[in-house]
């Protein structure tokens, strides 16, 4: 039997498509259906690694979690990973396909349609329901001829489309009615329902708004989804970043963690688990003015290590980070951030950047070399050695994933990654600066707790041991909380009737 389909499209980026898709995946999974997510083309540097080493967008991996299944490259057959303002690495079926600027990609992208339909057909043969997600807006008139992810996919799958608008952004009528007005008659007929997302306050105040939308569009409003406060789940494909300033007052018992927000930042999910800890404040910073005097500075991953290292120097953040380390701040580098903390980066083949070599921040005794063919993408586990910079972690086995270009030579590695002869990671003499390649290490509860206890003790902060939660259990709880709110708002029985009616019509 070919699976039924449902598609979520948005009036714009940040309409909330990814989280709504995840919520629907969880709802139907709880109903006992074999449900699977699908996004034909995603643009994001926030990638996940599947069991076969293939890459997909992290939002699809998160949606797979909502379905209770393992991530699969078929869920996101085309992934665009931006390397510069108009150039991306193209991942097809989990593997690098090409590196192209925007114009070249659009000219060649139609070759990928067969890869997309093959992946979708394969999933439909194995599951009961495919929840599909669009990208951006279906009404980008100048790009419709290149469409691989919105209405072309909906028409191919004969999927009812739910169009989502974000009322928090303002202009909800222009969002929804304007989008519908710009669609062709054929595409407009594909839209079977409207959703108003992220509503704050008394929803009865929007009753007239629902009536206006339905009268003007002729399409039912399936529901008004409320803003879910304090939701500890990843937002869309990357963490939302707002302007952050140095706190006017600093709580003496709060750990202040400044995360450097690189222009080409990637795999920011490492921060999610830290956010779950009580008494830990996460700030994203892009300038020395925002940096202030944090307890911890975290340099996360990046799609272009050398270019973002130069950005650190241009902004003055490189000198500020070194000064902060000398003044007692803990500095952590993960993946590309780890490479930057070293002494030098060699890039003789001009991979990810046109710059052949760059001096690192010199905080770790590490030299990194980029060479073609050395990209690592895999799920793995690692043993924490006695040389670990975090007291209490010695002997632990932790899990995570690698996704990086470059090989780093370090004289004092502290992680023995499964299947690798050389050690990973490095730290300075007093363990106040450290780093490694393993993404997801803070998702390991025992490791994260030991790190938190260690730095709280070093900073003289009190430790609330009752606040330490299993991150996996917290994520499941939050997914269910989101799903509950969406189920109440949309009326899932009516939605299921819509899906079944569409299936019967094409059978």
Q: What is the assigned CATH class of domain 255-461?
A: alpha beta
Q: What secondary structure, in 3-state letters, does 216-242 show?
A: HHCCCEEEEEECCCCCCCCCCCCCCCC
Whether the pTM exceeds 0.75: the reply is yes
- Cα 378 to its chain centre, rounded Å, is 17
- Residue 421: which H helix or E strand, with range? none
Q: Is the pLDDT of residue 382 over 70?
A: yes
N-to-C CA span, the chain: 11
Q: What is the pLDDT of residues 309-355, one digit of tens each?
A: 999 999 999 999 999 999 999 999 999 999 999 999 998 777 777 78
* Per-residue pLDDT tens over the stretch 118-176: 999 999 999 999 999 999 999 999 988 999 999 999 999 999 999 999 999 999 999 99
**Strand partners for 176:** none
For the cut 90, the answer to whether the pLDDT of residue 260 exceeds it is yes
Contact between 8 and 16 (Cβ < 8 Å): no
Contact 401, 263 (CB under 8 A): no
- 190 — alpha (psi -120 to 50), left (phi > 0) or beta? alpha
478 alpha carbon, distance to own chain's centre: 16
CATH homologous superfamily for 4-232+475-506?
P-loop containing nucleotide triphosphate hydrolases (3.40.50.300)
Question: Could you tell me which of 281, 227, 232, 226 has the C-alpha nearest to residue 258?
Answer: 281
pLDDT in the model for residue 430: 94
- pLDDT at residue 7 greater than cutoff 80: yes
User: In sequence order, what are the beta bridge partners of 358?
Assistant: 345
**Does 335 participate in catalysis according to the annotation?**
yes
Q: What is the pLDDT of residues 466-503, one digit of tens each?
A: 455 689 999 999 999 999 999 999 988 878 877 776 55
Q: Which of 25, 50, 67, 335 is catalytic?
A: 335
Per-residue pLDDT, 235 = 57
At residue 107, does pLDDT exceed 90? no
Lowest mean pLDDT, pick from 196-200, 236-240, 428-432: 236-240
232 vs 114 pLDDT, higher one = 114
Is pLDDT above 70 for 236? no
pLDDT tens by residue, 65-94: 999 999 999 999 999 998 877 788 999 999
> Tens digit of pLDDT for each residue in 262-311?
999 988 888 889 988 878 899 999 999 999 999 999 999 998 899 999 99
pLDDT at 239: 45
Count of positions (residues) in the chain:
507
Round the average pLDDT of the chain to a whole number and report it: 90
How far apart CA 25 and CA 37 sit, in angstroms, is: 7
pLDDT of 357-378, one tens digit each?
889 999 999 998 988 777 889 9
pLDDT > 60? residue 249 = no
Q: Given a cut of 70, is residue 1 above it in pLDDT?
A: no
Report the distance separating Cα 487 and Cα 485, nearest Å. Answer: 5
| Cα(241)–Cα(1) distance, integer angstroms | 43
Spell out the domain ranges in the chain. Answer: 4-232+475-506, 255-461
pLDDT 10s digits, 177-212 = 999 999 999 999 999 999 999 999 999 999 999 999
| DSSP β-bridge partners for residue 129 | 4, 35
- The number of C-alpha atoms within 13 Å of 471 and in the hemisphere containing its C-beta is 21
Pairing between strand 265-266 and 397-404? unpaired
- Active-site residue flag, 436: no
pLDDT (0 to 100) of residue 468: 53
Among 25, 404, 424, 439, the active-site one is 439
């Amino acid at each position: 039997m070919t699976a039924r389909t449902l598609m979520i499209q948005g009036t714009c980026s940040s309409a909330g498509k990814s989280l709504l898709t995840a919520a629907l995946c969880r709802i139907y999974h709880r109903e006992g259906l074999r449900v699977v997510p699908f996004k034909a083309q995603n643009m994001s540097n926030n990638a996940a690694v599947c069991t076969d080493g293939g890459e997909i967008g992290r939002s699809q991996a998160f949606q797979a979690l909502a379905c209770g299944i393992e991530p699969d490259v078929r869920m996101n057959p085309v992934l665009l990973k931006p390397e510069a303002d108009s150039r991306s690495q193209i991942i097809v079926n989990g593997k690098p396909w090409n590196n192209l600027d925007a114009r070249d990609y659009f000219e060649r992208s139609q070759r990928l349609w067969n890869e997309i339909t093959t992946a979708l057909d394969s999933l439909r043969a194995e599951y009961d329901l495919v929840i599909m997600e669009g990208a951006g807006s279906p009404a980008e008139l100048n790009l419709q001829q290149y469409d691989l992810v919105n209405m072309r996919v909906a028409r191919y799958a004969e999927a009812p489309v739910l169009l989502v608008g974000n009322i928090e952004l303002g202009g909800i009528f222009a969002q929804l009615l304007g989008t519908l007005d710009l669609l062709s008659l054929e595409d407009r007929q594909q839209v079977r329902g409207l959703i108003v997302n992220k509503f704050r306050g008394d929803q009865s105040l929007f009753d007239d708004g629902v009536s206006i939308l339905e009268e003007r569009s002729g399409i039912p409003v399936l529901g008004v989804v409320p803003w879910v406060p304090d939701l500890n789940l990843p937002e869309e494909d990357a963490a939302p970043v707002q302007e952050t300033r140095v706190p006017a007052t600093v709580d003496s018992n709060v750990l202040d963690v400044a995360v450097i927000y690189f222009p080409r930042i990637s795999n920011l999910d490492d921060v999610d688990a830290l956010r779950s800890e009580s008494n830990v404040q996460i700030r994203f910073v892009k300038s020395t003015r925002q940096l202030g005097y944090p307890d911890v500075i975290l340099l996360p991953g990046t799609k272009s290590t050398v270019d973002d290292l130069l950005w650190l120097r241009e902004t003055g953040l490189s000198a500020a980070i070194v000064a902060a380390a000398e003044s007692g701040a803990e500095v952590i580098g993960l993946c590309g951030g780890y490479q930057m903390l070293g002494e030098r980066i060699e890039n003789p083949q001009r991979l990810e950047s046109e710059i052949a070599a760059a001096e690192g921040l010199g905080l770790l005794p590490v030299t990194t070399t980029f060479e073609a063919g050395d990209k690592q993408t895999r799920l793995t586990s690692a043993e924490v050695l006695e040389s670990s910079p975090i007291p209490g972690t010695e002997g632990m086995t932790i899990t995570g994933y690698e996704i990086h270009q470059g090989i780093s030579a370090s004289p004092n590695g502290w992680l023995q990654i499964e299947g690798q002869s050389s050690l990973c990671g490095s730290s300075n003499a007093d363990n106040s600066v450290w780093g490694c390649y393993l993404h997801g290490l803070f998702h390991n509860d025992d490791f994260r707790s030991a790190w938190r206890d260690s730095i709280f003790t070093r900073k003289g902060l009190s430790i609330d041991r009752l606040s330490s939660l299993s991150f996996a259990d917290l994520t499941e709880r939050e997914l269910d909380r989101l799903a509950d709110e969406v189920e109440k708002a949309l009326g899932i029985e009516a939605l299921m009737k819509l899906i079944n009616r569409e299936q019967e019509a094409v059978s």
